[in-house]
């Protein structure tokens, strides 16, 4: 993927039963019933096809329990600490994998946004204490670009606000997906994430406007000084 967002896992299918993993193009990997050694093997394989370097220290992880109970009459049951399914079919793997991948990746980008907010917090503190702007235009441009690319990536790649194709086609899969989205508070977290990005954008615009006004003031004074010099030269020539 373009950015390594981390890995997430689901478990409690019983050791020795079927195992699955799903790799997402935005950097998340979801494991179903896989031992640690198997997960490490999958991640090594994923590094061979990754467009960006994978930094394991930056990984965000999450776990969720899925229990398979063929004797159930209903297709799914939702408990406080797990989800029970009649069977783990491809639809279930798809929607569970999607939500887990999204929540782990969102953790990753939430941390990045918090870092940008901390940068602006330091700029605000220095400006408040000195009354002068302590940042450069290049730094602000970098933050604006990072802010825009983060929002674009999360909105278009992760598609948190959209239902998956599987959920559209299957009512039972849609039920599981909506439960997990509520369980991981995905919608509220994304709305808060979007609010933070908008705050960063407004902060950057404010400081860029100040820099632009400072530049305009400098140019105006330069023009005034040049006009004054020209007048002095003209008066000298006339004397």
pLDDT of 49: 73
Reported as a single tens digit per residue, the pLDDT across 26-60 is 888 899 988 888 888 888 887 777 776 665 556 77
pLDDT of 237: 60
Reported as a single tens digit per residue, the pLDDT across 178-229 is 999 999 999 999 999 989 888 888 877 777 777 666 555 455 556 666 566 6
Lowest model confidence (mean pLDDT) among 92-96, 98-102, 115-119, 188-192: 115-119
pLDDT of 4: 41
Instruction: Report the SS3 class of residue 62.
Output: coil
pLDDT of 159: 84
CB crowding 46-80: b at 16 or more within 10 Å, else e = beeeeeeebeeeebbebebebbbeeeeeebbeeee
Angle 191-121-208 from CA coordinates, rounded to 5°: 85
pLDDT of residue 150 exceeding 60, the answer is yes
> Bigger pLDDT: 93 or 139?
93
Residues 6+ apart with CB under 8 A from 210: 133
């Amino acid at each position: 993927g373009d950015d390594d967002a981390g890995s997430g896992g689901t478990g409690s299918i019983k050791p020795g039963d079927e195992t699955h993993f799903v790799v997402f193009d935005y950097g998340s990997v979801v494991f179903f019933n896989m031992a640690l050694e198997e997960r490490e093997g999958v991640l090594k394989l994923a590094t061979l096809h990754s467009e960006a370097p994978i930094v394991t220290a930056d990984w965000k992880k999450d776990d969720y329990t899925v229990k398979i109970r063929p004797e159930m009459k209903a297709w799914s049951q939702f408990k406080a600490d797990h989800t029970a399914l009649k069977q783990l079919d491809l639809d279930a793997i798809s929607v569970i994998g999607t939500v887990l991948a999204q929540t782990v990746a969102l953790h990753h980008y939430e941390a990045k946004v918090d870092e940008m907010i901390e940068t602006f917090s330091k700029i605000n503190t220095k400006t408040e204490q000195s009354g002068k702007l302590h940042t450069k235009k290049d730094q602000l441009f970098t933050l604006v670009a990072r802010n825009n690319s983060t929002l674009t990536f999360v909105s278009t790649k992760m598609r948190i606000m959209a239902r998956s194709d599987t959920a559209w086609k299957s009512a039972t899969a849609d039920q599981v997906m909506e439960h997990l989205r509520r369980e991981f508070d995905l919608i509220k977290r994304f709305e808060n994430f979007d609010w933070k990005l908008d705050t960063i954008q407004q902060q950057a615009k404010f400081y860029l406007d100040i820099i632009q006004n400072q530049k305009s003031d400098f140019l105006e004074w330069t023009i005034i000084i040049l006009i004054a010099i020209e007048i002095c030269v003209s008066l000298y020539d006339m004397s």
